[in-house]
Amino acid sequence: MRNAFVINMSHTFHVIDAFADTPFAGNPAAVCVLAAPAEEQWMKLVARELNLSETAFLHPIEGGWSLRWFTPTVEVKLCGHATLASAFTLWETGVLAPDQIARFHTLSGWLTCRRTGEWIEMDFPAQVPELCPTPESLSESLGAKLLWVGSNGMDYLVEVADEKALRALKPNFSTLAKLPVRGVIVTCRSESAEFDFLSRFFAPAAGVNEDPVTGSAHCALGPYWQAKLGKSDFTAYQASERGGIVKVGVRGERVRLRGQAVMMSKVELLA
């Protein structure tokens, strides 16, 4: 029996573990470098097919690259790990020289990435959270007492008592998905001298129950902990099952995020 679909052309995707220095850690993202813009519906279908927390599509434009990010269900306005993965792919495949800055035009404006030794530094907009009323179901949905609740218009950010409470969270994703935000960032101070703070990120409304490592969440976490701790540079750990380290520097209305990356696989999509 012949195939029921017609193969038009192949597209190569590189799968990168972002915010990781070893395989099978951090947050995997698929990156597709295109010669020209692709149809939005095709990108949505591909992201659903690959079923990673993010699939990135980029193509050259004047001054850099156009970059769009898709979860398995929606397009998002800001994504850190897939931006890091996109820059890493351009350098690793020789499209950009290692000393060239990767410049991306996105739904959140221009974002830049540069290599600093073994790390990749991204320049992102700060997403400062402000104190807000606690949604009626939020504490119950997370299963924890909340010390502080704020919003940056994209996500809720909440602080819990300690690392034990953070790691023990078993959210009700069905009720979290009903909140009028992309997701919920949960944070606490670190009990280890190695890190300043820990976090987890839940985004069931965007098709990702728990994101392994979320660069964009640190655009809110950095300013939040800057106000609490009185400093501007942090080493943070996202305490998901895979886990990942994010170095954060708050610089006024911008946040500099640093992470590492590992290339895991190359996938050829035949549709």
**What are 24-71's pLDDT values in tens digits?**
999 999 999 999 999 999 999 999 999 999 999 999 999 999 999 999
Q: Which two tokens stand for residue 180?
A: 């009028």
CA distances for 123 relative to 126, 127, 255, angstroms: 9, 13, 6
The answer to whether 11-122+258-269 and 130-252 have equal CATH topology is yes
Structural contact between residues 157 and 150, judged by C-beta atoms closer than 8 angstroms: yes
Catalytic residue, candidates 39, 49, 54, 136: 54
By three-state DSSP, how is residue 63 classified? coil
Taking the domain 11-122+258-269, which CATH number applies? 3.10.310.10
Alpha helices in the chain (DSSP H): 40-50, 80-92, 138-142, 163-167, 173-176, 218-229
Instruction: Say what the pLDDT of residue 10 is.
Output: 78
Taking the domain 130-252, which CATH number applies? 3.10.310.10
Compute the mean pLDDT over every residue in the chain, rounded to the nearest whole number: 95
Write the secondary structure of 127-184 as one string of H (helix), E (strand) and C (coil): CCCEECCCCCCHHHHHCCCCCEEEECCCEEEEECCCHHHHHCCCCCHHHHCCCCCCEE
Catalytic site includes residue 54: yes
Domain ranges of the chain: 11-122+258-269, 130-252
Instruction: Say what the pLDDT of residue 80 is.
Output: 97
pLDDT band at 269 (very low <50, low <70, confident <90, very high): confident
pTM: 0.93
27-33 and 54-61: which strand pairing?
parallel
